[in-house]
Amino acid sequence: MYRKKDSLLSYKVAIRQKFEIERKGDFASFLLNPSRALLRDLCVQRFKDNPSKEDLKTFSIFFQFEFDPTTLNKLKAQTDKFRPIETFLKGETDLSPIEGINLAAILVNYQPRPYLKFDKSDLEIDVISVTTNEEIDLEKGKTNSEIIPRSTLKKKIGMAILSAVGLFSVGYTAKEIVLPTRECMQWQVDHYEEVDCTVKGIVSYNSAMPIDQHQFKLKKIEVDSNFVFFKGKKPVVFYCKVNGKPEFFNQLGTHPETEQVLKPISLHIINKYVKHKME
């Protein structure tokens, strides 16, 4: 089970992943290179298309007025309110207000939303890599296609049912039924390792967190000018800056120490921080 903080991070990562898919979909004209004005216009399109009660509530809380086709001029005056969402989707900044995050989910049409529905759902985000729906193993050079978000039921632990006359018994170990092993993960230099949630190890116990199957596969990588950064036109390296310098990783996710959402590599970053460094 995710802690609240981990669940919110997962929600934001899932929204960013959906954005990378949607920016090449039917609304690419709005999302391929989003600006505040384009996101505002996309917002109008989304809310014209049979919005749910939850979406309408998100709109009214965020903008402080109800959505109505007659209030579009009023929405134009709120264009600057889309700036934090713009920079969040581009991976430049984080986004904190819940209603702003929920509005971002509406813009990229991510489900389940709003956050409270996501937090209570059984949906586990395994992998949605940038633009491709592929999980890429950089070390082995293999791709695993057709990996999509899938809804999985939480494991339900069987309860022993004893008859009134005691005719049957259940042959499960009490420990497995009542106290299932709690598995956690902890960042170790350049990768995650499984740790026991209940035991304080040599490394800092506070940095341990419940295993997130997608984040667990994150690895920090070293790159040079000969590194393969793209498969076709699709980035397979992701980064964020720490103290002004980029750190590189093998997949989309959050930085294990700063918790920033990783961004796909670009030619600008390669030229400025990789090739220039080699010269």
63, 95, 123: which is the final residue of a domain? 123
106, 123, 140: which is the final residue of a domain? 123
- Would you say residue 128 lies in a domain? no
What pLDDT is stored for residue 5 in this prediction? 53
What pLDDT is stored for residue 248 in this prediction? 96
What pLDDT is stored for residue 250 in this prediction? 94
Residues 182 and 111 in one domain: no
Residues 115 and 180 in one domain: no
Q: What's the average pLDDT block by block, 10 residues per block, for the chain (279 residues)?
A: 64 90 88 91 88 92 88 86 92 88 95 88 47 38 39 37 37 41 80 77 57 88 93 90 93 87 90 77
What pLDDT is stored for residue 163 in this prediction? 39
- Would you say residue 9 lies in a domain? yes
| Angle of the 53-63 helix axis to the 36-48 helix axis, nearest 10 | 140
DSSP codes joined into one string, 50-78: ---HHHHHHHHHHHSS---GGGHHHHHTT
Residues 11 and 112 in one domain: yes
Each residue of 35-68: pLDDT tens digit? Answer: 999 999 999 989 988 789 999 999 999 999 999 8
Residues 11 and 113 in one domain: yes
- Would you say residue 160 lies in a domain? no
Domain residues for the domain of 82 are 4-123
Q: How many domains does the chain have?
A: 2
Could you tell me which residues come within 8 angstroms of residue 156 by beta carbon, excluding any fewer than 6 positions away? Answer: none
- Would you say residue 243 lies in a domain? yes
- Would you say residue 88 lies in a domain? yes
Residues 9 and 115 in one domain: yes
